Amino acid sequence: MAQVVAIVGRPNVGKSTLFNRLVEKKQAIMDDRSGVTRDRHYGLAEWNGRTFTVIDTGGYVTGSVDIFEKAIRNQVEIAIREADFIFFMVDTKTGLIDLDQEFASILRSAGKPVFVIANKSDNHALRLEATEFYALGFDNIYPVSSTNGSGTGELLDDLVNAFEPETGDKDEENIPRVSILGRPNVGKSSLLNILLGEERSIVTEIAGTTRDSINSHYNLYGKNFILIDTAGIRKKTKVRDNIEFYSVMRSIKALQDSDVCLIMIDATLGLEGQDMNLISLANRYKKGILLLVNKWDLIEKDTATAQKFKKEVDSKLGPLSFVPILFISALNKQRIFQVVEKSMEIYENRQRKIPTSALNKALLPLIEKYPPPAVKGKYIKIKYITQLPTETPTFAFFCNHPQYIQVPYERYLMNNIREQFDFSGVPIKVIFRNK
């Protein structure tokens, strides 16, 4: 099992900069303002052949008027409990302050190995200044610069030398990735917390609370996948803050990296334009899609309410009406486990490979019954169908005049593939080639 390292410290000491350097990606948002990182943020790092998990955390403060102060402190404390090793970051340029001393007492009581990282030690004089942090009472101080990487080699050498022997566990590369996406304040973080059974993401009624894409490992009831909470995505015209802009970019990146996208909407607002944009984006990247209608408990219902709502949504989805819809309440835990079941079903549909013989047996009679319309006096004859070895379901139709196949007939073929084989929630692609 991979070792877990938590990066903790007061605000603005460079935790996210070091996190990004260790995972070799710009995953965590960096800004000069304190409080930018709010949730625990996970990534995989590798050094000398050893892979380990790194947790970035928000800045630990006390006595602040920030509404998120208590929630951030809770997140930091959870990260400390989860970690095997602690990277305690301090600022050489600012020097030792009371908050560092206070936080050091908390870390000592945690009983975890602590590496004190004197960050911003960008030159020889500052590296000498770092010795004052021995007053914190820890054995080793590591003067580093998370910006240019100096000093990180010695730090990581000592870290991996302290790791337990490898157990041969496999990494998570082949585990399905499921992202939760939607507009701000539709309940994405609440759903994540309920599925995991813990407060993995901070939840408030303030839109934009989640800023980074948060990865969690779900491994319960025989289901095993990576679950990703993302920042709410608003219209570009409403994104005026740099932090929110980068949050949205991270959410879109999470979509691109996912196998299945859970698009969550607010039942009281219905399917809006920005929701359609997200569904269209997931379709464009050929991701599995499940539409979650959250806050269903707030809707006054009769026996036909769900059916009427679904009919209205399908009319807006148009060609994307293959997307399944689940009516849920994250607050009341209504149909929550169905979200997991359906997500994994869609993942399996996306992986499905149909034998060529089964494709031709099922589709050729239908094509013969309703052949492609003639174009410019050219009669089109489809002779053969096969599924291509691509990541997402793609089907090749071999015919004599592929250039004359029209879009309506292409949709007819797609619909028949869906009817004959189970591709619920999965965008499929058909291409036409010369026989």
CA distance 25 to 52: 15
b vs e for 52-63, b when ≥16 Cβ sit within 10 Å of the residue's Cβ? bbbbbbbbbbee
Residue with tokens 């800045």: 59
Lookup result for tokens 């960050």: 119
Query: Residue 238: what residue type?
Result: K
| Interval 139-166: pLDDT, tens | 889 999 988 888 999 999 999 999 877 6
The half-sphere exposure of 403 on its side-chain side, counting CA atoms within 13 A, is 2
Look up residue 154 and give its two tokens. Answer: 């010695």
Q: Which residues contact 265 (CB under 8 A, 6 or more apart)?
A: 182, 183, 186, 271, 272, 275, 291, 292, 293, 294
Tell me the per-residue pLDDT of 389-420, one tens digit each, with 9 for 90 and over. 988 899 999 999 888 899 999 999 999 999 89
| Per-residue pLDDT tens digits for 256-283 | 778 999 999 999 999 988 888 888 888 9
pLDDT in tens, 333-345: 899 889 999 999 9
- Which of 212, 188, 176, 423 shows the shortest CA–CA distance to 321? 423
Matching residue, tokens 């196998």: 259
pTM assigned to the model: 0.58
Domains of the chain: 3-161 (3.40.50.300), 177-351 (3.40.50.300), 356-434 (3.30.300.20)
Amino acid (one-letter) located at 319:
P
Position 373: which residue type?
P
Higher pLDDT, 356 or 166: 356
Q: Decide: helix, strand or coil at residue 435.
A: coil
